Structure 1
Amino acid sequence: MRLDGVLFFPVTPFTPTGTVAEDVLAEHVKHGVSAGAGGVFVACGTGEFHALDVDEFSRAVTAAVEATAGRVPVFAGAGGPVPTAKRCARAAADAGADGLLLLPPYLVAGPPRGLVRYVTEVAGATELPLIVYQRNNAVFTPETAVEVASLPTVVGFKDGLGDVDLLQRIVLAVRSRVQRPIQFFNGLPTAELTVPAYRGIGVDLYSSAVFCFAPDISLGFYDAVQRGDSDLVQSLLTSFYRPLVELRDRVPGYAVALVKGAVRRGGLDVGGVRPPLVDPTEEHLDELERITAAGRALLA
């Protein structure tokens, strides 16, 4: 399975009583797929994987798979403690997901050998294709990246660390020593801001949280990158993505909460975020609306 296009990471909606709103999630996913997403990554970082129990996770994945109806691949998050990661992997397979995004293990920072064991154990819980996510306490060396990329079900490596020097060495090592295609992803928050840098080291795929609330801007940026319209790319980076990142960085957790608030402002009742995240202030959402309007004006 080879992914392409803008990758959509939907938020996980909650009802007023705090349960997962599967019907709203289905609507969110259907809208994203119809808008032109190349793949759906449900119950991952933007979808508050950290705040879901396994039953909620399973219901969210099922809702996304049914809403997508086979039009694009559906990948589901897995991660945390090894037993939880394995249960999520199996639940995703049972729900009909096409693959897994393996998030970092819980809290502790293990050595590279421990990370290889972690990936190996979770990959062994299901036959689903698996994308390994490097960020926070999950940092690979070129050698260990080659080792996990050599596992038969590993199909991708997503980077949310931002160490371009390390990632370049990982890309070179994997592409020269693993005898099958491995896809690399830019997984930094608001990844579009660093797309030009990542493309320079051969990493073209990226995740787009912006697609959740402004798919027109997300797709407009992607199209500009694909056709080499550097003027539009630079204009969107300057007038939309940079101000968005500066707003996002004011409050920890806004990479998720601000996106969810924007979806809610857009008319879909996705509820708020679960602790320890906090919902954005109305002033910050007003500011985001102005930033989004500026982005849309560039595409008009």
Structure 2
Amino acid sequence: MNFDGILFFPVTPFRESGTIDHDLLAQHVVTGVDAGAGGVFPACGTGEYHALSAGEAASVVGTAVEAVGGRVPVIAGSGGPLGHAIEAGQGAADAGADALLVLPPYLVGGTPSGLVAYVEAIAAASELPVIVYHRGTAQYSVDTMRRLAANPRVVGFKDGVGDLATAQLIVRAVAAEGRTDFAFFNGLLTAELTQAAYRGVGIPLYSSAAFAMIPDVANAYYRAYIDGDEARRLAILDGFYTPLVALRDETPGFGVSLIKAGLRLGGLPVGGVRAPLVDPTPEQEERLAAILDAGRALL
């Protein structure tokens, strides 16, 4: 699966009643694609997959597919309890998604063989290819990824662990299987902070939560990264991403909560986050607004 541009993970907007605002979601997705997203990943981490029913996830994917209109690939979230993952995957297929991002299983970890069986059960439940997410209860060894790479339905690897040595070995192991169609990308929180290192081990793509709330700054960073303009890249890193990460690290779950807050500050009323995540305090929102202003000033 080929991607050209930043990987866009849209939020899931909620009304005050708690229901999903599909009109606002469509607007949000169109804005991201118009801004140059290379792929759209609805109902994934930033989209609060953990807090959506399988039916809600499918409806989010359907709205995203319609809004994208075939311009870029749409990769839907699937994961958690196996039954839920299969139901979400089937719903995403029916909604027109192009692939699935397999998030970690719920609560328990498995043996390497168990993780292979988990991924293959999700892949077998629909015709969609799958990308595995290396994180939390789903940490794939080099040998495990070699086994999964033998399955043509497995088409990508997203790293959310940050062990560059293991990531490098996985890239090499997949290549040794003859796979030239595999997509590798950096999925750490605020991936811009680590992407220069990931490119060095053969992982050129990254997901950008910041793109969802401030695409102009995220695009400026991406362009500097692609063009090898290190002075420009580091200026944006120091002036925007470093303070954003410092604020993000104050409270668990702020990798999602701050994105929604940033969108609200920008005039898009996407609502708050669902439990167990929490929204920023007014004081934290004020600091976020200052960080966003500082990022725009760099442009």
Question: Is the shorter-chain TM-score for this pair beyond 0.5, marking a shared fold?
Answer: yes
Report the TM-score, using the length of structure 2 for normalisation: 0.98
Equivalent residue pairs, number: 299
Report deviation, 1:179. 3.5
Q: For residues 285 and 199 of structure 2, what CA distance do their matches in structure 1 show?
A: 31
**Can you give the 5+ residue segments of structure 2 that lack an aligned partner in the other structure?**
none
Task: Identify the residue that residue 61 of structure 1 maps to in structure 2.
Answer: 61
Does the 8 Å CA contact 1:148/1:154 hold for their aligned counterparts? yes
Q: For residues 234 and 162 of structure 1, what CA distance do their matches in structure 2 show?
A: 20
Task: Identify the residue that residue 73 of structure 2 maps to in structure 1.
Answer: 73
Q: For residues 180 and 123 of structure 1, what CA distance do their matches in structure 2 show?
A: 20
Q: For residues 96 and 183 of structure 1, what CA distance do their matches in structure 2 show?
A: 20
Task: Identify the residue that residue 30 of structure 1 maps to in structure 2.
Answer: 30
SS in 2 for 1:222: helix
Tell me the alpha carbon deviations over residues 129-174 of structure 1, each in whole angstroms, 9 at most, x when there is no partner.
2111000111111110111122121111000011111111111111
Matched, 1:155 2:159: no
Runs of 4+ in 1 over 6 A off after TM superposition: none
**Can you give the 5+ residue segments of structure 1 that lack an aligned partner in the other structure?**
none
Report deviation, 1:177. 2.1
Task: Identify the residue that residue 175 of structure 1 maps to in structure 2.
Answer: 175
Q: For residues 178 and 274 of structure 1, what CA distance do their matches in structure 2 show?
A: 43
SS in 2 for 1:42: coil
Q: For residues 85 and 150 of structure 1, what CA distance do their matches in structure 2 show?
A: 22
Q: Which amino acid aligns with 1:214?
A: I
Task: Identify the residue that residue 5 of structure 2 maps to in structure 1.
Answer: 5
Q: For residues 191 and 180 of structure 1, what CA distance do their matches in structure 2 show?
A: 24
SS in 2 for 1:162: coil
Task: Identify the residue that residue 258 of structure 1 maps to in structure 2.
Answer: 258
Q: For residues 179 and 191 of structure 2, what CA distance do their matches in structure 1 show?
A: 28
% of aligned pairs identical? 56
Tell me the alpha carbon deviations over residues 58-106 of structure 1, each in whole angstroms, 9 at most, x when there is no partner.
1111111111111111110000111111111110010011111110000
SS in 2 for 1:119: helix
Report the TM-score, using the length of structure 1 for normalisation: 0.98
Aligned pairs for 1:266-285 (under 5 A) are: 266-285=266-285
Report deviation, 1:18. 0.3
Does the 8 Å CA contact 2:49/2:77 hold for their aligned counterparts? yes
Q: Which amino acid aligns with 1:50?
A: H
Does the 8 Å CA contact 2:14/2:270 hold for their aligned counterparts? yes
**Aligned CA-pair RMSD:** 1.0
